[in-house]
Chain A
Amino acid sequence: MSSIASARLGPPSDLGDLLGSGEGRSFARSAESSITALYQTHALGLTRLAHVMLGDKASAEDVVQEAFCGLYRNWARLADPASALPYLRTSVLNGCRSAIRRRKVRASKAVYEPAAASAESVALTSEEHRSVLAALRNLPARQREVLILRFYLCTADEEIAQVMGISASTVRSTSHRALAALGRMLGAS
């Protein structure tokens, strides 16, 4: 997070309001360079997170791009530079939820939906892994996100709570329920 810490954060007004002035232009440049540095550091990790959620590289890339565009639009409102990464993670989770919702709507209308997994993905992941990922993606959104943040990112409960906007005790109870549900699904399959 050193790149964020060194970034100059502007006054607590909207970036759009500042762009007309000279101060606004330099502020926008500073925002751009800070966000570009953030992108270089975190784009891969966030795209991987989105890919784990969605199982589709193209959608994962789109979700991450959207998250960074959202951060750029709201950069001036960010009170604390250290909150940029949690903000991005929250945006990515929200983006993934929307993408899954859109996919479900599309699937209900489409006659034929091709498999999302690429040949490379099929070759790379074992049968057991595929069934775990499929079961994960069948969990309700909140349960899926808690499990992925906890076991893929190894994030602490308090941090998961911050990213998801819920309490730490809810994270623990959701995780417990999600593991039980996943165990049932894998047992059944």
Chain B
Amino acid sequence: MNSLESLIREATRAAADEVTPADIPPLRLPQQQRSPRTARPRRVPAGPRHPRTASRWLTPLAAALSLAAVVAFLVVIRYSAGSGPGGALSASAPASRAQKLLAREALDAYFPATGAQYTAGLAFAWTRQTILARNAGPCLKQAGFPLTSFPRSRRRYQLSFPDNGQFPDLAQRARTRTMAPAGGDVRSDRARPWAHGEQRGNAAVATCMTGHASSLWRLDKMARPLAGAWLADVRKLQSSAQVRSMRPGFVSCLESFGVPTRFASTRSAGDGRLFAGFFAWMAWLGANSASPQRYASQQRLWTPVFVTCARPTVTTMERLQLAARSRFLDVHARKIAAISDLVIRLIPADGAAP
């Protein structure tokens, strides 16, 4: 096989790997009815014609009764299933566009591979938090575990929890020219809004969750261990020799923009280790800024430097992470499908805000 042929093979396989089992929608077969193309006229038996006065009114009556039965059935289904957020949807009901979008956002939230996916996943985190606050908020407050407040706007929520340590969204950083919203941690590498917010292992909290947000409880129970396994994979990738080999370039890039060497070459353990030099520099600037306004202007100055210097590292690690994610979703296809199924039941089919 020559190089062109192997290039075609690699390119087509790479393109094919973008489709994961989670992308496959459920099969929707057409209604069982005679298609117009195959319908044949009914043969009328020979013989004397009988007056068909009964069939003249029986047919429309039967049609009306059928329609009424269908409407009654739908009404019963709607009321028995519970149409509100957190209510169960019929298992066979096809997911609407809004529900499919939420399912994708949920996969981005639990299994992010890029900064863009992490940010998209925050949209799901917002929806989850909104449902939780509405359904279980009062109970949790009474139990002594009030939920922390969060932005009521989904967009603001997405901007509020950047994870620059593990999943830096360089496009968002370049657009907003800040590493984090005012008062936020520039690294924020523990921002997993879906993973905390309520105290786990507490009986009163468990009672609130199972009693008032059972759909979220089931979802968390299924998704959290898998998300943990995925994040462990991400950590391994980000500690791999291929990604670590990008560090000297990052450090020298920071130095070329004027970050002092003692900060640029800072080493650290944990999820923010790749860009530790920059975070150390920003921490020093924060500690030595005379006012929050001054620190904000420092961020406007230095965020583009981070975007420029981190880009080669981020490109390398995102390429590895996307390929690994594709394999991870393949391996856990059954659980992923179950998670998606639980997510689409969180909101009504019309996608009305929870």
Contacts and interface: CB of A to CB of B under 8 A. Distances in A.
A and B held together in a complex: yes
Interface of A: 14, 16-17, 19, 28, 32, 35-36, 39, 43-44, 47-49, 51-52, 55, 57, 60-61, 65, 68-69, 72-73, 118-121, 123-126, 128-130, 132-133, 136, 147-148, 151-152, 179, 182-183, 186
A36 B24 CA distance: 13
Interface in B1-46: 4-5, 7-19, 21, 23-25, 27-30, 32-35, 38-40
A72 B40 CA distance: 19
Given A16-B35, A120-B116, A132-B7, A125 B15 contact: yes
B18 A36 contact: no
A19 B29 CA distance: 15
A179 B4 contact: yes
A130 B7 CA distance: 11
B323 A124 contact: yes
A61 B4 CA distance: 29
B204 interface: no
A51 B23 CA distance: 11
A19 B32 contact: yes
B318 A69 contact: no
Contacts of B7: 128-129, 132
Contact of A57 (B19, B38, B114): B19
Contact of A28 (B4, B16, B28, B32): B32
B23 A47 contact: yes
Contacts of A126: 14, 319
Q: Which of B19, B38, B319 has the most CB of A within 10 A?
A: B19
A72 B29 contact: yes
A120 B18 contact: yes
A73 B39 CA distance: 13
B14 to A, nearest CB: 5
A74 B226 CA distance: 41
Nearest to B12: A152
A51 B13 CA distance: 10
B88 interface: no
B30 A73 contact: yes
A69 B30 CA distance: 6
A124 B319 contact: yes
Given A16-B35, A65-B27, 4 more contacts: A43-B24, A118-B18, A152-B9, A152-B16
Given A179-B4, A182-B4, A61 B15 contact: no
A113 to B, nearest CB: 20
Given A125-B14, A136-B11, A44 B24 contact: yes
A123 B322 contact: yes
Contacts of A133: 11-12, 15
A148 B12 contact: yes
Interface string B100-125: 00000000000000101100000000
A65 B25 contact: yes
B22 to A, nearest CB: 10
Contact of A16 (B18, B29, B39): B39
7 closest A-B pairs by CB:
A48-B16, A152-B12, A132-B11, A129-B11, A16-B34, A39-B27, A151-B8
B237 to A, nearest CB: 14
Contacts of B12: 52, 133, 136, 148, 151-152
